[in-house]
Amino acid sequence: MRRRRDFIMLLGGAAAWPLPLSAQQGKLPIIGVLGAGTPSAWTDWVAALVRRLGELGWSDGRTVAIEYRWAEGRGERYREIATEFVRLKVDVIVTVGGAVPAARHATSVIPIVFAIAIDPLGTGLVESLARPGSNVTGLSMQATELAAKRLELLREALPGLQRLAILGNVDYPASVVEMGEVLSAARLLGLDLDRLEVRRAEDIASTIGAIKDGTQALYVCGDALINAHHARINTLALGARLPTVYPDRVFLRAGGFMSYGANAADMFRRAGDYVDKILRGAKPADLPVEQPTRFDLVINLTTARALGITVPPTLLARADEVIE
């Protein structure tokens, strides 16, 4: 039985300006949220999106209907969910970059907004950043460009760092690109790097279990599979006495050590602006892909203490958030 999942009460009431004709005539516009991960992992992100929609006058059940579907890290679910949204005749689909190809295969008409995408131009999601050129637009994460910075911060936290491993879903093209960037950055920093490849949830435990002796940290590339199973990854990494570094603070909840990257919740909030413009008549092809405006360094001191790590005070002073 399909059902909608409500996460948060929307803020505000109806917008002061006119609503689309369909809403005026009594048919609420429908927003389809294609969640690539799990509901729990996406809670903060969805809350930011819904809150922004509320500020813009889109109240679930009053001026808009929001339908949620969850792939739970299983890429084969993307096309199934997108096809269902086509049957429901949703007015816009909100998702992340990894699900866009399947959504675009299901429809070339319904607007698709990606709240997060790693290198949308290089992976072919859009024709150009300034003029996306199709029914797809959204926000670029710039995760690959941050690989060197992430490693520098990790080495600052772990002054004796010489060897680390990188874990990524190699069925996700952007993770493959990021793994290459991390390898290049590691060479420049004089670090030894082991590449760990996963393709499905069942690979995670055996892959982490095979990490070589002498490895001192684990760099984890973010994607829907990792998002859905980050708690398990953190548990395994803690058991192996390995501090982890991630692209976003959401991965630190279950024991991750450090994150640095664009603020994903802020990007979902900004995705609400795209949805608002589209529901009021704008075409995705005419809405430029935007870049992140907030980059956060978050350190989990609880995890640091559990691993016996003393984080340098100078690094703690620069952190945007310290979890204790």
Query: Which of the 8 DSSP states describes residue 192?
Result: E
- Give the pLDDT score at 144: 59
Rounded to an integer, what distance in angstroms lies between the CA atom of residue 225 and that of residue 212? Answer: 23
- Give the pLDDT score at 167: 97
DSSP string, 184-216: HHHHHHT-EEEEEEESSGGGHHHHHHTPPTT--
Give me the tens of pLDDT residue by residue for the chain, a chain 324 residues long.
Answer: 444 444 433 333 333 334 444 444 468 999 999 999 889 889 999 999 999 999 999 999 999 999 999 999 898 999 999 999 999 999 999 999 989 999 999 999 999 999 999 888 888 899 999 999 899 999 998 665 688 899 999 999 999 999 999 999 999 888 888 899 999 999 999 999 999 999 999 999 999 999 999 999 999 998 889 988 999 999 999 999 999 999 988 889 889 999 999 899 999 999 999 999 999 999 999 999 999 888 999 999 999 999 999 999 999 999 999 999
Closest to 161 (Cα-Cα) out of 94, 54, 59, 257: 257
- Give the pLDDT score at 139: 96
The phi, psi pair for 186, rounded to 5°, reads -65, -40
Pick the CATH number of 21-141+263-294 from 3.40.50.2300, 1.10.390.10, 3.40.140.10, 3.20.20.70: 3.40.50.2300
Rounded to an integer, what distance in angstroms lies between the CA atom of residue 298 and that of residue 300? Answer: 7
Same fold, 21-141+263-294 and 144-262+296-323: yes
Closest to 168 (Cα-Cα) out of 179, 159, 160: 179
Closest to 166 (Cα-Cα) out of 153, 156, 152, 180: 180
**What kind and span of H or E run contains 220?**
strand 218-220
Average pLDDT over all residues of the chain: 89
Domain ranges of the chain: 21-141+263-294, 144-262+296-323
251 touches 230 (CB < 8 A) = yes
DSSP string, 32-71: EEEESS-TTTTHHHHHHHHHHHHHTT--BTTTBEEEEEE-
CATH superfamily, domain 144-262+296-323, is Response regulator (3.40.50.2300)
With residues binned 3-state (H G I as helix, E B as strand, rest as coil), the percentages for the chain, rounded to 5, are 40, 20, 40
